[in-house]
């Protein structure tokens, strides 16, 4: 195997690990967004956590060539980071997380990743 083929194989493996990790992070995003439904909870720290996680997913996705996935994560980051985010925008945030989940599944299927 030449250097170019070895590099492509390594990048494919890294991309596969990214998809697995991101799939797991979806559970965290869902749990965090569920916390927004608690009327006694302070939303600001939860929204910050969501924005930080989405930012990481976005950056890594762009680096590994998952452009649509990265774009969707950026949408989540922006929704979570919006000043004065209110309850109606939280539903849009939850919807965006599910759209990200769909995109992760699509990217995994495209690369034959389980």
**pLDDT of amino acid 10:** 87
Whole-Å CA distances, 83 to 40, 77, 78, 79, 80: 20, 12, 10, 9, 9
**pLDDT of amino acid 66:** 94
Question: For residues 1 and 86, what is the distance between their CA atoms, to the nearest angstrom?
Answer: 55
Identify whether the C-beta of residue 43 lies closer than 8 Å to the C-beta of residue 8.
no
Identify whether the C-beta of residue 15 lies closer than 8 Å to the C-beta of residue 65.
yes
Is the pLDDT at 84 greater than 90? The verdict is no
Average pLDDT over residues 70-91: 83
| CATH entry, 3-110, from 1.10.10, 1.20.120, 2.60.40, 2.120.10 | 1.20.120
């Amino acid at each position: 195997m030449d250097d170019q083929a070895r590099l492509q194989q390594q990048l494919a493996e890294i991309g596969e690990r990214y998809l697995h990790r991101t799939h797991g992070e979806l559970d965290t995003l869902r749990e965090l967004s569920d916390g927004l439904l608690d009327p006694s909870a302070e939303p600001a720290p939860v929204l910050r956590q969501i924005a930080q996680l989405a930012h990481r997913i976005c950056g890594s996705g762009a680096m590994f060539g998952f452009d649509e996935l990265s774009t969707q994560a950026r949408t989540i980051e922006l929704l979570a980071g919006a000043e004065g985010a209110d309850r109606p925008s939280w539903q849009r945030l939850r919807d965006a997380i599910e759209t990200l989940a769909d995109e992760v599944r699509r990217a995994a299927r495209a690369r034959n990743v389980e």
